[in-house]
Amino acid sequence: MTSHPDAFNALRPWAAAHETINVIIDTPGTRGEDGDALDVAVLCSASSFVGCLMTVRPVGVIKAVQWEKRQRIQNDRLIAVPVTPVNRPRARRLADIDPERLSALEQFFCAYNRAQGRRFEITGRQSKQAALRLIQANLASSG
């Protein structure tokens, strides 16, 4: 774990997305309502690779629900920026992210799930504090 109070380590990219998104990763040690690790969209300009451990700072949450086999499942997406000792992120909260970039990210999530045969609906956006609460709640429920 990193020593920065607002940062956490995330692992395993599972989908390369739009160039403004870069990578979607799982958060080790967490479990969301869908039974999988929490998903994190890391907004950065550099490439990554499967198995890369990244230290990221959450800036917000995209609230979403998906339907699988007629079952409604809450499946939120954390939004984060990478943290390195040399390149500190400028974005500290969701409001610091270009709204068009966030819209493109939401469209990606909808299209990705549609391609997987799932209905996926964005229900809102929440703050960095909500992202931190989501991480803590899912760390507690994963054990």
Is residue 2 in a domain?
no
pTM for this model (two decimals) = 0.76
Q: Where are the alpha helices (DSSP H) in 20-127?
A: 99-115
Is residue 55 in a domain?
yes
Burial class (CB in 10 A: 0-12, 13-18, 19+), 112: middle
8 Å CB contact between 79 and 94? yes
Enclosing domain of residue 79: 8-136
Is residue 52 in a domain?
yes
Residue showing tokens 């969209």: 41
- The pLDDT averaged over each successive group of 10 residues in the chain (143 residues) is 46 43 58 75 77 83 90 90 82 91 90 89 95 82 58
**Which CATH number is 126's domain given?**
3.90.80.10
Q: How many CB atoms lie within 10 A of CB 31?
A: 16
Please name the amino acid found at residue 48: S
Is residue 3 in a domain?
no
